[in-house]
Amino acid sequence: MSPAAKPYHAPAWLPGGHAQTIWPLLIKPTPLKLRRERWTTPDGDFIDVDHLDAPPGAPVLVLFHGLEGSARSHYAISTARACRKAGWHFVLPHFRGCSGELNRQPRAYHSGDSAEIDWILRRLHHANQGGRLHAAGVSLGGNALLKWAGERGETAAELVTGIAAMCAPLDLAGCGHHLARGFNRLYTQHFLKTLKAVSAARLQRFPGLFDAVRMRQAINLYQFDDAVTAPVHGFAGADDYWARASAKPWLASIRVPALAVNPKNDPFLPAHHLPSQAEVGSCVRLEQPAEGGHVGFVSGPFPGNLDWLPQRLLHFFRHQTS
């Protein structure tokens, strides 16, 4: 019998979803030196993929980052460090435009970009020569990964041993509208600052790609997705995008071992939007701790550490995917 995973409990000195979300940004460890590769996509674009190498035959953990994330995100750094300690190969593919250089094509990335997930996993599977490939995603990356697994059904097992998603915004409408209210608007403004800057640069390269005035005037994610994300990626509007890109409807179709961790105090997604076990397939393990914030999971005495998330991932892949 495999050892039980350690459930998450927030330290008493860090109460509340907002504090638990923001504090990791202040205590993130020093990034490791990673090896970068540039991959040409099937449509002639590129993505940058960062590697922490390990001995041949070691398990591979690929981590898909969140909205405007990168290899320098706190969860990526802590996971890379945990993989180094475990002797695993760590891989972080940057979604288009997230590695510090504007991509070549008009499109960027979005929460339901399962086709991009599929292409990346197939390339990693081929490079790994059939070895153990574990796939995890955080926030937006977790949503896209879960959606991919649901769409692929039993065939997902041809590429990965299992999948794990941390704080995935499973219901994009519930998440997007919630981020437009109260204190949560600070998170929205943080995202919009970089999203608008990159979008303005993309518009210079591709005039007429979307309505520049509507993009500049957007004050929430609904307005931004309606003006930019949806038309650029073939959706009728924000409502269509959020409905079709959400992973929640696909959870019942997942046929590989899957872990979905969603704290009930996540400021991005209210607890009443989270799925019940009756709404997901038998391969899906739901963990919905009372606390954790949005990709927070701080543990230990003050000032805390960020070890819980990567250790939960490694435990799952070691013991629930064999």
Nearest Cα residue to 265 out of 180, 167, 199: 167
Q: Do the Cβ atoms of 163 and 149 come closer than 8 Å?
A: yes
CA distances from 149 to 159, 172, 202, 208, 308 (A): 10, 17, 30, 35, 24
d(CA 17, CA 10): 10
User: Angle 308-319/74-86 helices, nearest 10 degrees?
Assistant: 50
Verify whether residue 272 is a known catalytic residue.
no
Verify whether residue 253 is a known catalytic residue.
no
Angle at 166 between CA 220 and CA 72, to 5 degrees: 75
For 196-231, the DSSP string reads HHHHHHHHHHSTTSS-HHHHHH--SHHHHIIIIIHH
Catalytic annotation, pick one of 48, 171, 266, 273: 266
Verify whether residue 139 is a known catalytic residue.
yes
* Torsion, CA 81, CA 85, CA 86, CA 90, rounded to 10: 30
Catalytic annotation, pick one of 73, 114, 139, 199: 139
Instruction: Identify any residues that bridge with 62 across adjacent strands, giving them in sequence order.
Output: 91, 135
d(CA 177, CA 274): 15
Q: CB neighbours of 145 closer than 8 A, spacing ≥ 6?
A: 64, 117, 135, 136, 137, 163, 165, 168
Catalytic residues: 139, 266, 294
